[in-house]
Amino acid sequence: MINRYSRPEMKQVWEPENKFQKWLDVEIAACFAHCKLKNITQKDYDTIVSKSKFDVERISQIESEIHHDVIAFLTNLAENTGPASRFIHLGLTSSDVVDTAFSLLIQDAGKLLIADIDQFMESLKVQAKKHKLTLMMGRTHGVHAEPLTLGLKLTVWYEEMKRNKARLINAVENSRVGKISGAVGNYAHISPKIEEIVCEKLNLIPSPASTQTLQRDRHAEFMTTLAIIAGTMEKISTEIRALQKTEFNEVLEPFSKKQKGSSAMPHKRNPVICERVTGLARCIRGYALTAMENQALWHERDISHSSTERIIFPDATIALNYMFYLMTNVFSSLTVNKDQMKENIHKSYNTFFSQQLLLKMVEKGMLREEAYRIVQKNSLEAFKAKEPFDKKIKEDSIITTLLSKKELKALFNYNKYTDNIDLIYKRVYS
């Protein structure tokens, strides 16, 4: 991922220094297991622990000559460790190290993303509670429907993020798997006990069965989970963008005092943060497809997945981490134009009370189809004439005969749109 969209903590997870450290952690854990099983002496193990160091530049130099990154890594370790290095990688194949270490990297990235979700959800909750009763127009098909509250809109997103958090926790846990089973997964040259000890030391679960690699359904699950979460973030950012349109002007993302919106038009305040989030979500969806393509490897293993995973896992986790950072800031400094929301509600000329009128007419004994036709006629005429709907229906003798002035007045009440907010909040936030 380019530096523009990289946050330091997540970027560090995928730096070569950390990757090779995870490889070393696996190798030393394997040596620990061999020592525990008396395959190597305590002295040799202690030497390996104290002297096994690596240098990223040296590994790169060796790899440029031999074209195998694991062997380059092991060669560099041997240069620093001395004779005891003959016990490093004892009975292992490259994927034992790479895939087990990859699981550790996914754990690190996953924990950061779970923390990101918590921070983002908190920013959502603060605004949801602040705007619990802030009325705004609800829209279906982009057209005025009925009022709801901004708090309810945010609460729907909060509830979705709860599901996303559960998905991510599950995907991270399902990726907490190690594999030390040899070239085709049959433990021909290494005891299953080694795998058991290594995984316990690294806080991983031994894969019950594997080939030369861990099976990529686990990795596809993790990546598709990131794509679903990114989809939620895109949905939220798209809504903010829509509500920031000049014609709406209801909710606006932060815009600093020194910020500029357009090189040509000084008046512009563009929703560039949310647009950036939308674009990054598209990338992550593409990575999810690649992760699913990686499930089908030839026989016990090929490396067609390897090149893609070096790109998609760092990029997807770094991008999502950055998206959370952006959107947490958006909701921490959100501009809410309550007066504009009221003004936009009034642009419907109260025609959104049509359902309440329809139901009342049906309650009075009128057939639904007939009542619908009458209410629709009056609402369309009121909107066309820019006349309040409650005034327009007083001119309809059928309606005024069916309902008293008191009954008609009672229909035009906003309480219907907020009466059950407490119930919804109790379900979501309790």
Annotated catalytic residue 262: yes
Annotated catalytic residue 141: yes
Kindly name the residue from 141, 267, 299, 397 that is annotated as catalytic.
141
Kindly name the residue from 50, 60, 262, 304 that is annotated as catalytic.
262
Secondary structure string (H, E, C) spanning the chain: CCHHHCCHHHHHHCCHHHHHHHHHHHHHHHHHHHHHCCCCCHHHHHHHHHHCCCCHHHHHHHHHHHCCHHHHHHHHHHHHHCHHHHHCCCCCCHHHHHHHHHHHHHHHHHHHHHHHHHHHHHHHHHHHHHCCCCEEEEEECCEEEEEEEHHHHHHHHHHHHHHHHHHHHHHHHHCCEECCCCCCCCCCCCCHHHHHHHHHHCCCEECCCCCCCCCCHHHHHHHHHHHHHHHHHHHHHHHHHHHCCCCCCCEECCCCCCCCCCCCCCCCCCCHHHHHHHHHHHHHHHHHHHHHHCCCCCCCCCCHHHHHHHHHHHHHHHHHHHHHHHHHHHHHCCEECHHHHHHHHHCCCCHHHHHHHHHHHHHCCCCHHHHHHHHHHHHHHHHHHCCCHHHHHHHCHHHHHHCCHHHHHHHCCHHHHCCCHHHHHHHHHC
Q: What amino acid positions are annotated as catalytic residues?
A: 141, 262
